[in-house]
Amino acid sequence: MPKRASNGDGGGKRGGGDTEVASGGGGYFKTLLTSGSGGETKKQTTDLLFRPPRFVQKGPLQSERFGSPLFTQPSDQQLPTVSVSSSSSSSSSWSLIWLDWIPYWTATGNLQDLIYNDILRFVLPTHATTHYLKFGLITGGQLAMLMYTIIFGLFTTTRQVDSDLEYFELFVVLVVAVFQILLLSAWFRYTIPYLKALQLDWMNPYIPGWNRDPMHVPLGMYTTSRRQARQGACQWELPARPQTPHSNIWRLDYDCKKRTNPSTTITEGDDPCWYFCWCPTAKQALQIVEQQQSQGGSSNNSNTNNGNTEDKYDDGPTWNPIPVPSNWTRQEGYDKPIYTNMKYPWPGKAHPPFAPPSSLDHNPTGIYRKRLTLPSDWSITDGSEYTLVLHGVESACYVYWNGEVVGFSKDSRLPCEFNVTKYMKMTEANSNHGNNGSSSNSQQHEIMVVVMRWSDGSYVEDQDQWWMAGIHRSVELIRRPPRADLLQYFYQATGDGQLSVQVYCRPQQDEEAQSSPDPISSPAKNTRVLARRQVTFALYGDSHAPSAMAITANQNSNDVNISDANSNGVNHGMNSWIAGPCLWEETVTMAPHVDTCHVSTRIARVKQWTAETPNLYTLIISLAYCTQDGVDDDGDDDDDDDDVSTEIMGNSTASSAATRGRRTPQTAKTTVVHLESCRVGFRTISIRRNPGQLCINDKPITVCGINRHEHDPDNGKVITVQSMIRDVCLLKQNNFNAVRTCHYPNASAFYRICDCYGLYVCDEANIETHGLKPMGRLAHDPGWENTFISRITRMIQRDYNHASIIYWSLGNEAGRGCNFVRARRVIQQMDNSRPICYESGGAVAEGTGRTELTDIVCSMYPSVPRTLDLATRSDDDRPVILCEYSHAMGNSNGNLHLYWKEIWNNQVPRLQGGFIWDMIDQGLRVPLNDKGDFYFAYGGDFGDTINDKQFCINGMFSPDREPHPAVAEIKFLQQPVVFVPLQAHSDAESLRVTVQRRQASIRLGVVNRYSFLDLSHISWSWHLISNRSVKPIRKENFDLSIVDDKEDTAEISLEDAISRVVQLEKTRPPGGNSFFLNIRGRLRSATLWADAGHVIVSQQFAVKFVFEDVDITTLKHVNMNEQTPPTLSTETTDDSTTIFRTNGKGERSPLASFDKHTGALLSYAPNGNNILQSSLVPNFTRAATDNDKGGMELVLDFMIPINGVKEVVRAFLGRSDFSYLSHWSFAGLSQEYPPTLRCTNLSVTESIAGKPFLVTADCEVIHVGWGTVIIDVAIAYTVYADGKIKVSQTVTPTDLLAKLPSLPRVGVCMSLLPELFAVNYYGRGPEENYPDRKSSSEMGLYETTPENMGYLKYIVPSENGSRSDCEWISFRAMDGAGLLVVADQNSFNCSALLHSAYDLENATHTCDLPLAKDGAAPIHVSIDHKIMGVAGDVSWYPCVYPQYLVKPFVSYEYSFHFCPLDKNGDAAIIARTVRRSEENR
C-alpha cells in the first residue's frame, strides 16, 4: 500500500486536506500483504468542514424551521452550533463538527429495525473494531477449549492407564486436541488475510480519504476582471483551458479516439493523451506503481518527446490511450459493466468492508498516466499553488504526482481535490539541481491515478444502476495565484430580497506580509506594514441569452459587454450573457488574522426564483490587497468581526455602509488579486404547518418530479453538458418541474442548468445499502459514521449555492440508525434554509418514509389508497411528496391518473406530488454489425453472471431520450392549466352546445395550476373534429381573460364551424355523428427549453350540438344492399364448412370457411380473395409485460436465494402474491404453453333467400398440460349475403380459473395479408393506450400503419400497441379494398402489429424479433372485448387495480362485425350504419 503523507504533506500553505488524527508508520503494499509485518498503523481521518455561515449560526436551527413537532427530539432544540478543533484558532475557516451526546436510539416510533441492526453488527461485523472483536472472541473460545482438552488429557495421563476404556478415552482426547488445533489453524488461515485487508485504505470505512482538500463550491479562480467572472458565472462549466486561454483552470480531458482536443496548442510538444493499464488485482497495480516510486518517479527528469506517442511509455506493462473522462468498462478489452439492483456484484454474501469478500485479490484496478508541461504563463516559483481535481472516480483512487503519492479518496460521485504544489517543487528542485540551478517552466510532470473498482465504499453505492469503473468526470489542474486567498463562500438569498454572504479566506501570515517582495505590500524601513485584505461584494442583474445573440452594451452597466470570452470573437460553445445593472456593491476590509467575513443586505423589488420563474442574478466576490499603516482608522488595533448590514434601494448603495475591521483610507493602494462568482436566485423555502405544505416564497408548490440517473447509452456514466441540457429540456417540455438526483450528487453543471432553466432539485447523498439484509446494518454501525457523514456534508459544501436545490436527501434505501441521526444534526448546523428528506427506515425490509429523520413524508411506491392515508393522517403534519412512484419498467405507468386525481385534489392539501421512477432506460448500446444496427443491453448481456436482468430498463425515455408512450400520459396529467365544464353547459358525458341562428359558443371554467405564473405566456387555440374525417372541421385561436386569478371562465365561439357541422349532420348516417372540441395551449414565444408553439396544455371535450332553429331534417341514408342481392349456400367436408356466395350474374365464390375441429373462422373472402393469413380464434393470452412478471418470486429470489423456496411458499401460503404471469402459466394461459381450442359441435342454420346464415360452434379452451377445460366459448357467426359477418361470443371461465387474479384478455386474434397495411381507426390515440393509461389519449379518427401502431422501442419486447375505446378499425390495400371491423354497441380495444404475441414473448431484445416491414409481413390483429391494464405502481408485485382486471369468475358476451370495403366505401358511415342497424334489431 502506498505511503501516506502526513497532513502537512501536500497541504502547502493552504492548510487543506483531511485531518489525520495520528500519523502512521510506513509500509508498502507488498510488505503488508505478504510478510504481514511493518504494516501501517491505521487511524481515523475526518473531513474538514468550513464553519457554517454566520447567517446560519444566528438563525434558527433547521429542526425549528422544518422538523415536525411530532418527530423532532427535544435535544434538537439544544444543539450546539459548531466547535473548532483545539488546534485551530478561533478564526479558522474550517473546523471539525462535533455534537453533544445524542440518545443512542433516537427513533420515536418502531424500533425493531434499530434493534436488529444492533444485534447484527456484532454477529455480522462490518468494520475493523467489530471484526477484531469477533476474531478475539472466537479465537479465545477456541483456545479455551483447546486448553481445556490439553489439561484434561494431562490429567488423564497422570493416572495409571490399565484398561482398554481408559486407553480409548486418552485416544479420544488426543483426537479432539488435534481436531481443535486443525480447526484453530483453519480459522487463522481463513481470518488472517481478512484482518490484514482491514489495514488497506480501500477496505477501511474509517477512512473516506486522506490529504484531500476540504470540499468547497466550484471556484473559477478569476484574476482578470469582473467581466470575466460575470461571464464565467453564466457558463454551465467553469471556463477552463484550452477553450478559455489565460484561465487558471486547465481541464485535462481528452478523447483519444477523436484526437480533437486543442490542448496541444498550450504547450508545444505535449502528448495530450491519457494512457491506461488494466490490472486484474489492486496488488498488481500497486506493485507497478511501487516500481515507479523505487525509480524516483518516471518523469522527474523526463523531457518532452516532440509529440511522439509510440514510445511514450516503455517502462513495463502495456499502456494504451484511453479517453478521459470515460468508464474503462465501456472501452474494448477492459473488464465488463455489471448491473444489479438489490444485490452486490460479486459472488458470495455481502461481508463489509471487504470488496469483493469472496476473493480479496480480485479487484480490477486501472492505472491512468498523463505527462504534461505547465503552460508558459504558469510558474511554480512565484508562490502559486496547484491542486489536482478529479470530479468523479469510481470507486476509490490513489493520486500520484511525479511518482510520489499525494492522497487517497473514495466516493464515486463527488470531487476529490489534492494540493500538488509540494510535489511540483520537488521536481523543480531536482531539475534545477541537475541543470546547475537554472529554472525552466518546460519541466515535464506526470500524473498517475490508480483506480480500484471495488472498495468498502461500494457497499454504500448499491444504487440500482450499472457498476462501472474509472475516471468518469473531468480532471482539472487548478492554479491558485499568489494571494488568491478565497477558499469558500456561501450565500443565502430569501424571497423578500434579503441577501447574506459569507466568505472564507486563507489565514494571513504576519511574517509573509512583512517580508513579501510583492508590490502590493511595500514595507518601509523599521515600519510594520501589513497588506490588508479587502473583499468587495457586488450583485448584478445579468441574464443568459441564446448563443446566437450578440451582447449589446447596457447603459446601466460600466462593464464592456462582449460576445464571447475570447478576444477574437470565436465562440467555443460558451453561453452568451446579457450584462445587467449593478444592484449592490459593498467593500469590507478584513483585519489581520481574520479569515472570514459576512455581509448582509436587502435588495428592493427583487425578482424571485422559482421553477416557473427562474430569475437569476450574478454575485461577484473580489479580493484585493491594500497597503496601509498597521493601526485602525479608529485608533485601535482590534480584530473586529461585526456583521455588515445595509439597505439597498434600487441600484444605489447606502452611503453609511459599515466595514468590517479597519476602514481603508482613500489613499490606500489596492490591487484585485482574486474574483469568484455565481448565479443567485432569491427564494424562501418553508413548510406551512397548517395544513402541512412545502412552500416556495410562501406559496405551496406541486412537485411534478422524476428520478434521473446519470446515464449515457454509449459512454456509461460519462454525461456531457449537451446531454444534461437535453434532459432538462425534455423534462420541461413534458411538464415536469422537479428532479431527484437518484441516488448521488450529479455533476456541478447539472445544477447550474437547473438553476437557469427552472427545475426544483432534491439533491441526494451518495448512500445506498440496498443489498444488505437488513439494509440498515451500516446506518446503525458507528464504524461507518465517517463514511456516512463525509458523503453527506461534502455534498452540501459543494452544492450549497444553488437556488434549484430545495431540499437535501440523506441517501436512499440504507435503513435507519445513529449515523443518519448524526448526519442530520450536522446538516442542521450547516444549512437552516432547506428541509431534509429521507425515505428509509422504520421497517425491517424497506423504509416507511415517515421516520424522525425526514421533514417530508417521502414514502416509496405507495398505492393510491396508501398515499391518501399518508396525506390525511391526523398524527402527522408534514408534506407528502413521494420520492418514488409509478415504476416505468417497459409497458407500464398505469394508474397515473388515479394518483394525480388526488394530488390535484384541494381536499388533500398535504399531498404535493412525487418523483416518477425513473427518467431513462439504462440500456447500453451494443452494435450488431458495421451497418449501424444495434440493440440496448441490460444485466447479463456482458457475461456478468450476477445481475438483475432488465430491471435497469425502467425509464419513461429510451436510452436515446425518445419518449415512451407513457410520457404523453404524465405530460397531460401534470399540465399547468385545466378547463372544466360548467354545469349549465354540460351533461354527464359531453358539452351541450345550443345553435341559434347559426351561432354557438362554449363557456368553460379555467383553472390555473401554476403557483407563480399567470397565463399570459400561453397562446390558445381550439379545433373541432368529428368521427367522419381525420382533418378538423375548424381551427381557431382564442384568448383568456384571466391574468392573476386561479379560476375564471373562457368563452369559445364556434360560429365559423357551424356551417360545416350542419352539412355533416344533414349527411349523417343512421348512427349519427360524434364531435369533439380539442383545446391546445402553446408557448407564445421561445424559451430556453422549447420553441415558440410548443404544446404544454391539451384537453378534449365531447360536444353535443342542439339545433333550435336550424333545419337538418333532410338526411341521406346509406343503402348497403346491392340491387340484386346475392344468395348463400354451404359445402361441408370432414374438416370444414364453407359458405359460398352467388351474385346476380351467377358467379359463385367462397365467402367464409369454418374449422370443424376448432370452430375458428378459417378464411374470409369478401371481395373474392381470402384476406386472412391465419384463422380468427378466441384469444385469452398476451405477451407478458415486465409488470406481469413481477411478484413474490422476485422478492424471494432476493431475500432467500435458495432453490425450492418459491415452491414451498406457494404450497403453504398460496399464489395470491405471485406474479400474474405465474398464475397464467399455472392456469395454461401463457405464451410459453398456450391453450388449445377444441370444437365439440359446429352447425349451420340456412335461411331463406336474402336472409343470413347462422353458424354456431360450441368450443372449449383446453389446458395444454392438464388436458382439462378451462374456458367454455360459444361462438355464433351470422353470415350476410352482402359479405358482412357478425361474430358473437359468450365466454364462460370454468371454476378452475376462479382463483386467478385476472385473465390477460378476452377477445379474438387473427393475421391479415401484408398488403392490408393502411390502417384507419376511430378510437383513442395517437399513441398506444390501455384501460388504466388512456387519460391523455384523445378520441378521433386516426391514420396509421402496423409498423407505427406497434411500439417496438420497449427494450424488452412485450404486449404493446393497443388502442382503447375503438368503435371500428379498417385495413385497406393500395387499391382501397379491404376489411372493416366494427364494434357492436360497446367499443373494443384493438391492435395491429407486425409481430405475433409468441414472437414478442420469446424475444429478450428488440434485435431478437424477426425483421418485419409494412407490406411485407403479416398483420397480427387483436380485437379485445376486455384487456387487463398494464399497472405500474410497482413492477415486483401484482398491482392492477380491481376496475382494470378481467375477472375470471364472470361470463362475457360481446360481438363485432366484419364488413367488406371497396375503394369508395366510407368506413365511418358504414360503421355507424352497422351499429345503428344492430340497435334497431
Phi and psi at 90, nearest 5°, equal: -65, -15
Identify the CA nearest to 744 among candidates 827, 810, 803, 801.
810
Q: C-alpha distances in angstroms, 678 versus 139, 496, 537, 547, 613?
A: 58, 20, 12, 19, 18
Pull the grid cell for residue 1094. Answer: 410548443
193: left (phi over 0), alpha (psi -120 to 50) or beta: alpha
Rounded-to-integer distance, Cα 1385 and Cα 1402, Å: 36
In three-state secondary structure terms, 1474 is: helix
* Cα maximum dimension of the chain: 131
Catalytic residue chosen out of the listed positions 394, 846, 852, 884? 884
**DSSP labels, 388-453:** EEES-EESEEEEEETTEEEEEEE-TTS-EEEE-HHHHHHHHHHHHHHTTT---TT-EEEEEEEEES
Name all contacts of 932-938 with Cβ < 8 Å and 24+ positions apart. 933/1407, 934/1407, 935/1355, 935/1405, 935/1406, 935/1407, 936/713, 936/1355, 936/1405, 936/1406, 937/1405, 938/339, 938/1355, 938/1356
The secondary structure of residue 591, as a DSSP letter, is: P
User: Do 1424 and 1389 touch, CB atoms closer than 8 A?
Assistant: yes
Q: Phi then psi for 196, rounded to 5 degrees? A: -65, -40
Residue 978 cell numbers, joined: 385545466
Estimate the share of the chain in helix, then strand, then coil, as percent rounded to the nearest 5: 20, 30, 50
At residue 1007, what are phi and psi to the nearest 5 degrees?
A: -115, 120
Q: Which of 585, 710, 785, 813 is catalytic?
A: 813
Q: Tell me how far apart the alpha carbons of residues 656 and 33 are, in angstroms, rounded to a whole number.
A: 68
Q: What is the DSSP letter of 32?
A: I
* DSSP 8-state secondary structure symbol assigned to residue 163: S
Smallest Cα–Cα separation from 915: which of 758, 765, 762? 762
Cell of 724: 444534461
Where does residue 1370 fall: left (phi above 0), alpha (psi -120 to 50 degrees), or beta otherwise?
A: beta
Sheet containing 880-887: which strands, arranged edge to edge? 836-837, 805-809, 760-764, 738-740, 703-707, 911-917, 880-887
> Is the four-CA dihedral 1345, 1351, 1357, 1362 of positive or negative sign?
negative
Question: Rounded to an integer, what is the distance from CA 819 to the centroid of its chain?
Answer: 25
Write the single-letter amino acid at 471: I
734/727 Cα distance (integer angstroms)? 11
CB 1476 within 8 A of CB 1368: no
The residue with cell 409498423 is 1347
Q: In what order do the strands lie in the sheet with 444-452?
A: 209-210, 404-410, 396-401, 444-452, 365-373, 274-279, 320-322
Q: Which of 520, 451, 437, 515 is nearest to 485 (CA)?
A: 520
Instruction: State yes or no: is 884 an active-site residue.
Output: yes
Residue 672 burial (CB < 10 Å; 0-12/13-18/19+)?
middle
Cell of residue 853, nine digits = 429523520
DSSP type of residue 756: H
Full DSSP string of 759-785: -EEEEE-S-EETTSSSGGGTTT-GGGH
What does DSSP assign to residue 524? P
Q: Is 1108 marked active-site?
A: no
Pick the closest to residue 540 from 614, 613, 606 (CA basis). 606
Catalytic center residues: 813, 884
